[in-house]
Structure 1
Amino acid sequence: MAEPNSLLRLYRGDRRLNDFLRHWATAPLGERVALSGAAGSLPALVAASALTELKQTIVVLRSDKEEAAYFLNDLEKLLPQGSVLFFPDSYRRPYADRDQTDNSNIGLRAEVLDRLRGDQPIVVVTYPEAIAEKVITRGQLDARSMEVAVGARLDVGFLNEYLFELHFERVDFVEKPGQFSVRGGIVDVFSFAHPEPHRLEFFGSEVESIRTFDVVDQLTLQRVDRMTLVPNVEDKSSTERRESLTAYAGPKALVWIERPEVALEKLDRVYRLAEEAFVGLHSVVRRLEPHELYVRGAEWDRELAGRGIAVDGVPSDSASWHTLAQPAFAKKFDLLAKTLDGHRQAGRALWIMCGQESQRERLKAILHDLNEGLEVNWIDGALHRGWEDPEAGLIAYVDHDLFERYQRFTIRDQHEQAQALTLKELNALQVGDFVAHIDHGIGKFGGLQKIDVGGVKQEAIKLVYRDSDVLYLSIHSLHKIAPYATKEGTEPSLSKLGSPAWQNAKSKTKRRVKEVAFDLIKLYAKRREAKGFAFSPDSYLQHELEASFAYEDTPDQMKSTADVKADMESPIPMDRLICGDVGFGKTEIAVRAAFKAVADSKQVAVLVPTTLLAFQHFRTFSKRLDGLPARVDYLNRSRTAKETKVVLQDLEDGKIDILIGTHRILG
């Protein structure tokens, strides 16, 4: 199965691509080189080719954050990992307070600045609101950063003071950027330049090992040779000199602007907001003025005069690529098959990109039924938009547009990870709360304390048991304890350390669980002996229904759908419960299962608990099954006696395929 970067190889010798890259690299500084007539995701393919061929850092400026995110996702599928980074805005509004900043975005910005200091060319994707904020200069970042390598001589006390000077916060457990913790010869630190925190282990004054770890479970991810300590580079209360991102990227960096006039207008808009916010400041602390923190449109336009610039152009000049956007087929697959066959007869290669394996298999089945001899090249992974390129003899479609599905963009959420469950619960525990230890039973939480272990101070969890017995638990054994849940208003009895009572209680519980399991096994054995109806494999209409879902299936949705259909195709009666929060797609699974039954000439009853839900499900089922051979109706107390009689008669006559209702449908 091919991948999206296969398209890079197909365009490698393209005359139009090579002419554009050569012109961009050699044009006089300040001249705007236009990429005209490149439809769909072709601009992303050109940008990826530019990095590969020109080997220069490229700053790509799209018109807004959403466009930038889709462009980023396209480049991530076309280029090796780590070759493209996203540069977002950091503050929700100019001169915002610290609690109104986005730590995740600050981390992403710091990572870009750190990578731009290196020799490896990268693509930085951004948008006007992000570059409106100036960044600290390279010299200042060098002065405020420190690289730590395995084998380096570094005193833990000095590192502690250095991190305080960088305004890092010392905590018990590292959870987000700008935090660090010290436990004897182990230092955990979350630098703004890395997506994960690092654990530094010292042997005396020597760095013995450096490992990244997961803040959720505190487990090691990988060993590394070095890491860079970078502070919050977006602290706008500091008085350091700042410059634009493009100036920071250096004079050799190329710039690609989607729509220059839009970018300049948005820069001026952010600057005006900054001026208004600055006038309204009431602070005794001196703050830098807007011109020191933000970039005006005219200022940035003058700066661009000294570098190579590419822009998105209009397809009117002779250098236009003359490509077309992917047509809208409105889920008319016969028209799609006819169009693809026409391109095939014209000698054009057909490529279809699919974001999910399930979508690819559905589309394959549909096209096979409509035109068995159609040869299509399939790509595992979909760019944002498809295109038609007659000159290159290539047609590239994306599946989500064929099925009118929404494609979500994804931006790596670098630092805003959820805390570990154990850490959250630990932080939520109050002294005196009941906890259960897997080996020692029920005790009371006594807080975090530092104890001496072999001459080294370490943090431990204090647990108090009956008769004031105390157990100290290492923080590395958090998985052994859990908050103890009991009935409201009742207190459990504390366990006695060394007593067999807790082990006896566990043994008794295990025996009871085995008894329940035995009863369940007997029940399920009887069910397996019963014979049910084995439904047929998915039909063409089933594929069409599932492919028309407006959103991408979640992994759990895909698994649940497959499990339900496997149950239905088995002669054993189905006994399955689908669990999930509101809005996570349970109804969609029910729609698919119901239609699968209808396709085998069965009638389906959907039982719901409330009158309102009956009508809501009726609307949902009707909308999803619109255009398919399935009639949906409903029964609840809001329907008149006459309407109910008609519905029941139609149901008896087999005219209704799916009936949705409350307990009335059981009467």
Structure 2
Amino acid sequence: AAQLDSALRFFLGENDVPLVPFPDWETLPYDAFSPHQDIISERLAALAQLPTLRRGILLVPVPTLMHRLAPRDYLDAHSLLLDTGQTLGLEAMRLRLEAAGYRCVATVMEHGEFAVRGSLLDLYPMGSPLPYRIELFDEEVESIRRFDPESQRSIESVGQVRLLPAREFPLDENGITRFRQGWRARFEGDPQQSPVYRDVSNALAPSGIEYYLPLFHERTHTLFDYLPDASLILTTDTVEQAAQTFWQEIGERHEQLGHDRERPLLPPVEMFLPVPEVFAGFRTRPRVQFQHFELESAHGTNFATAAPPSLNLDVRAANPTATLEAFLAGFDGRVLFAAETTGRREYLLELLRGHDIHPSPVENWTDFLDNDTRLGITVAPLEQGLLLTDPPLAIIAEPQLFGLQVLQRRRRKRAERDTDAIIRNLAELTIGAPVVHEDHGVGRYLGLQTLRVGDTDTEFLTLEYAGGDKLYVPVSSLHLISRYTGAAPDSAPLHKLGSGQWEKAKRKATEKVRDVAAELLAIYARREARHGYQYHIDEAQYRAFAAEFPFEETPDQQAAIDNVLASMRDDKPMDHLVCGDVGFGKTEVAMRAAFVAVQAGKQVALLTPTTLLTRQHLENFRDRFANWPVRIESLSRFRSKQEQSQVLTDLREGKVDILIGTHKLLQDGVKYRNLGLAIIDEDKAQTMLKMLDVLDE
């Protein structure tokens, strides 16, 4: 749906056809987590808009469509219009907002919050892009103004504001009563044993309460009930498979999580639409099905399209653009290149011009259609190209040229513990596998054995140690066993029980830890006694640079950025270690620091472990700094000796702002005019120490 949304916005251009987003909760079925308030806000805004929408496009993934929803009359009954000149009692309004799920806070920052300060009511309605400040004169609404939640400054006056409920379920007295009755009717046992039941009874919304939504309503609706009668449904050829897959996932999650007595689950049919009901909903309105194959039936329409070709640039070939050139030579229509960002467009232009391909920059799709240039290039984050045969016209998206590497997507993962080190399930243990007991050291797992302890039969893990000694570990103490990660499993050195070998090994490890700690203490003591360069950050320019970041910073990423900038403002030497998995945003932290250094007139060195990573960083940095007068160069085996010599000369003269390279940056001939920041994308201590020596010089 996100890919289709980007493509539609590109092709619609200036067209005023509204695109209505209806996001997924972004949780797994029956999760004990609640969606973010911004997601709930978008969903409620869409549901409120749909019944009266006369013209527009609604994009919905199949899993989102399969969720049951609050009935339409719930939104109507819990919505409110406020006009200037209207009479409004603050206390009554506060109680009404709380009943609708809004939270009273000191300062309004997020959707679903309100604050009362004297005669002012600050309110962030669901579905609204900005919060509102309502000023009262006695009990009359004197003015309504939008304001910026960051600066808390008013922006503009409006005459009216519509308030939607803050949740997709009521948490007022009637809603709580209906929930309690529904719970007791569906689940056996004492309801007071469930934290979910107790929280809702106390007018609290526990995490994951959305998966009990049917208990708050007499009936539920589906998205089909919200669609206008004149709606046209369009589906792709993967809808049925996606619906079947999601329904199977629902069943698996229900089976996996349905045995918790404190958190019993509703049957899947109460919370989700079965696949037959989904297709029954499709039949309630006219439907168009898209297929990828040619239809021979007279009831279908075959558009004059073909599959976009793969035009991968082979950087190792003598002519990397040979495939692209062959396509352009054999295609007699017009071609538009789509670059993902402004920086990527400049990079692509430079690359194509080097092979005598000269596309003309155009503003957008409409601009390309309005002129007669044969080759054009624009900025559009398309993941698929387009090939029309009548009229002949092609769009070449970046993935066609560079593969999937070009797609810059933030991969979000849940926080996980180290599943490689901790054995969570007995099924993960194989007979004869070496394991480590926290108190007794390395042994071999021989399987499960039932032993009678007192009057109870208990299962134990049997571990064999050196000399054939056996250790029986209760299954309840599984957390004491971890996976052995040393030498080859067959040659794992087994410890002897009672010999003190394991205690001696742990004692040596502890001593080494103390040695490292003492060394670190000495290093940091020397660092505290030294003075470094103190950066003064131009806040306006920095905010402009940060605003160009196309993603929302994660809390940890923002904390890392803030810590690095705070250290750069300090007069102490800076040394930060930024850890994170691939795709978690470490490079953006480095880019923010590099921007601050370059703006202060300093040079930046970025050390990478491989030539390939050097090239990737070069492209990413040039893309990120495309709108700024920053020169970024690299040193690697991909550059000729003449090019490297020119880069080194310009580096000494201060004409290169950011230099990216492998160990070549550590060679004697690399001299900086004013090096102020080193970024090391490397995990080898020896390389780090060499770079620190360069900095000391």
TM-score (ref. length: structure 1): 0.53
Q: What residue number does 1:376 align with?
A: 375
Out of 656, 660, 684, the position equivalent to 1:590 is 660
Q: Does 1:201 align with 2:135?
A: yes
Q: What residue number does 2:396 align with?
A: 397
Structure-to-structure mapping, 1:337-486, within 5 angstroms: 339-340=324-325, 343=328, 346-371=331-356, 376-404=375-403, 405-408=405-408
Q: What residue number does 2:23 align with?
A: 88
Q: What residue number does 2:579 align with?
A: none
Q: What residue number does 1:121 align with?
A: 55
Provide the C-alpha distance between the structure 2 equivalents of 1:329 and 1:572, rounded to a whole number of angstroms: 37
Q: Does 1:212 align with 2:150?
A: no
Structure 1 409/213 Cα, relative in aligned 2: closer, same or farther at 3 Å? farther
Structure-to-structure mapping, 1:581-660, within 5 angstroms: 590-591=660-661, 604=670
The superposition leaves residues 516-540 of structure 1 with CA deviations (integer Å, 9 ceiling, x where unpaired) of xxxxxxx99xx9xxxx9xxxxxxxx
Q: For the Cα contact (< 8 Å) 1:211–1:221, is it kept in 2?
A: yes
For the residue of structure 1 that corresponds to 2:378, the secondary structure is strand
Q: Tell me the amino acid that sits aligned with residue 264 of structure 1.
A: A
Q: For the Cα contact (< 8 Å) 1:155–1:205, is it kept in 2?
A: yes
For the residue of structure 2 that corresponds to 1:394, the secondary structure is strand
Provide the C-alpha distance between the structure 2 equivalents of 1:269 and 1:573, rounded to a whole number of angstroms: 64
The superposition leaves residues 279-303 of structure 1 with CA deviations (integer Å, 9 ceiling, x where unpaired) of 546469x986543332111111222
Provide the C-alpha distance between the structure 2 equivalents of 1:105 and 1:576, rounded to a whole number of angstroms: 44
Provide the C-alpha distance between the structure 2 equivalents of 1:287 and 1:547, rounded to a whole number of angstroms: 47
* Greater alpha carbon shift after TM alignment, 72-81 vs 254-263: 72-81
Provide the C-alpha distance between the structure 2 equivalents of 1:554 and 1:408, rounded to a whole number of angstroms: 11
Q: What residue number does 1:574 align with?
A: 654
Out of 74, 87, 112, the position equivalent to 1:178 is 112
Structure 1 283/147 Cα, relative in aligned 2: closer, same or farther at 3 Å? farther
Q: For the Cα contact (< 8 Å) 1:107–1:195, is it kept in 2?
A: no
Q: For the Cα contact (< 8 Å) 2:148–2:155, is it kept in 1?
A: yes
For the residue of structure 2 that corresponds to 1:100, the secondary structure is coil
Structure 1 373/71 Cα, relative in aligned 2: closer, same or farther at 3 Å? closer
Provide the C-alpha distance between the structure 2 equivalents of 1:662 and 1:548, rounded to a whole number of angstroms: 21
Instruction: Measure how far apart 1:265 and its partner are.
Output: 0.5
Instruction: Measure how far apart 1:393 and its partner are.
Output: 1.0
Provide the C-alpha distance between the structure 2 equivalents of 1:547 and 1:90, rounded to a whole number of angstroms: 34
For the residue of structure 1 that corresponds to 2:336, the secondary structure is strand
Q: Does 1:325 align with 2:308?
A: yes
The superposition leaves residues 451-498 of structure 1 with CA deviations (integer Å, 9 ceiling, x where unpaired) of xxxxxxxxxxxxxxxxxxxxxxxxxxxxxxxxxx99xxxxxxxxxxxx
For the residue of structure 1 that corresponds to 2:216, the secondary structure is coil
Provide the C-alpha distance between the structure 1 equivalents of 2:107 and 2:95, rounded to a whole number of angstroms: 18
Q: What residue number does 1:491 align with?
A: none
Q: Does 1:336 align with 2:335?
A: no
Q: What residue number does 2:479 align with?
A: none
Structure 1 558/402 Cα, relative in aligned 2: closer, same or farther at 3 Å? farther
Structure 1 188/337 Cα, relative in aligned 2: closer, same or farther at 3 Å? farther
TM-score (ref. length: structure 2): 0.51
Q: What residue number does 1:70 align with?
A: 3
Q: For the Cα contact (< 8 Å) 1:354–1:399, is it kept in 2?
A: yes
Instruction: Measure how far apart 1:351 and its partner are.
Output: 0.9
Determine what percentage of the aligned residue pairs are the same residue. 17
The superposition leaves residues 432-454 of structure 1 with CA deviations (integer Å, 9 ceiling, x where unpaired) of xxxxxxxxxxxxxxxxxxxxxxx
Instruction: Measure how far apart 1:177 and its partner are.
Output: 2.4
Question: RMSD of the alignment, in Å?
Answer: 4.9
Q: Does 1:312 align with 2:290?
A: yes
Q: For the Cα contact (< 8 Å) 2:339–2:348, is it kept in 1?
A: no
Q: Tell me the amino acid that sits aligned with residue 312 of structure 2.
A: F
Structure 1 314/555 Cα, relative in aligned 2: closer, same or farther at 3 Å? closer
Q: Tell me the amino acid that sits aligned with residue 6 of structure 2.
A: N
Q: Tell me the amino acid that sits aligned with residue 245 of structure 2.
A: K
Structure 1 564/199 Cα, relative in aligned 2: closer, same or farther at 3 Å? farther
Q: Tell me the amino acid that sits aligned with residue 381 of structure 1.
A: A
Q: Tell me the amino acid that sits aligned with residue 142 of structure 2.
A: E
Provide the C-alpha distance between the structure 1 equivalents of 2:389 and 2:157, rounded to a whole number of angstroms: 49
Q: Which runs of 5+ in 1 are unaligned?
A: 1-67, 412-484, 487-522, 533-541, 579-588, 619-633, 638-659
Structure 1 564/205 Cα, relative in aligned 2: closer, same or farther at 3 Å? farther
Structure 1 557/320 Cα, relative in aligned 2: closer, same or farther at 3 Å? closer
The superposition leaves residues 182-213 of structure 1 with CA deviations (integer Å, 9 ceiling, x where unpaired) of 11221112222223322222233332332333
Q: What residue number does 2:642 align with?
A: none
Provide the C-alpha distance between the structure 2 equivalents of 1:193 and 1:616, rounded to a whole number of angstroms: 46
User: How many residues are aligned here?
Assistant: 420
The superposition leaves residues 518-565 of structure 1 with CA deviations (integer Å, 9 ceiling, x where unpaired) of xxxxx99xx9xxxx9xxxxxxxxx9xx978967586645864844789
Q: Tell me the amino acid that sits aligned with residue 241 of structure 2.
A: V
The superposition leaves residues 100-126 of structure 1 with CA deviations (integer Å, 9 ceiling, x where unpaired) of 333232222112112213334222222
Provide the C-alpha distance between the structure 2 equivalents of 1:204 and 1:175, rounded to a whole number of angstroms: 26
Q: What residue number does 2:234 align with?
A: 256
